[in-house]
Amino acid sequence: MKYTIQQVEYIGSYPKPGDLPESNMPEFCFWGRSNVGKSSLINSICDRKEVARISSTPGKTQCFNLFKIDHRFFLMDLPGYGYARVSKKKKEFWNIQIEKYLDERKNLCLLFLLIDISIEPQKIDIDKINSLGKRGVPFYILFTKLDKCKKVQKNHHRKMLEDHLAEYWETLPPAIETSSIKNEGRDEIIKLIDKIVVSN
């Protein structure tokens, strides 16, 4: 039977991972470059309009935003990285706190790293992928904005990224192509989450 999300409960926004409530409930984290379409994708997955705030201003998410889904698992919305219009000091603070979260959050089951497929691979995204690999954090790549480019362009950008990663990875990280506008990839993500939750 196909799993659909019924209830989304906002738990809170926390400036540091040490402030997060402890839990044994499986947690799934969404992370990506600022303005990659993270909020739109989270809203699409949850089939809600305003679970995560959508803004044209990069850096809108400035805390660890935690949601409880159907009393089965947590969904974490992390601050984006990259060109957010915030101070260098604030960016450094986020980097430190996110690294702590990735290293210390015991119930983190899977991280979804969002990458804009409509543009050429960005060095900062490649660096994050390699960092997650070194840390041993389980993750999937979610290619976003599939509706913003043609198939030929999408395939070209994906191959460019895969060629970069092939220099460091024996087996490439798993990936799902998505469009929050057309809900593409949504069912695949939910199916993956449900499978992990059931197995925990």
Could you report the per-residue pLDDT of 6-61, keeping only the tens digit for each? 999 999 999 999 999 999 999 999 999 988 999 899 999 998 876 665 444 444 56
Distance CA 43, CA 51 (A): 6
Distance CA 34, CA 63 (A): 13
Domains parsed from the chain with CATH numbers:
8-199 (3.40.50.300)
Q: Are 56 and 14 in contact (CB under 8 A)?
A: no
- The answer to pTM > 0.75 is yes
Burial label for 42, CB within 10 Å (0-12, 13-18, 19+), is: buried
Over residues 71-87, the mean pLDDT reads 86
DSSP 32-83: EBTTSSHHHHHHHHHT-SSSS---SSTT---SEEEEEETTTEEEEEPPPBSS
Distance CA 156, CA 150 (A): 10
Q: 3 or 104, which is more confident?
A: 104
Buried b (16+ CB within 10 A) or exposed e, 105-129: beebbebbbbbbbbeebbeebbebb
Residue written as tokens 């400035």? 62
Distance CA 10, CA 94 (A): 21
Could you report the per-residue pLDDT of 123-154, keeping only the tens digit for each? 999 999 999 999 999 999 999 999 999 999 99
Q: For residue 53, what pLDDT is reported?
A: 57
Burial label for 77, CB within 10 Å (0-12, 13-18, 19+), is: buried
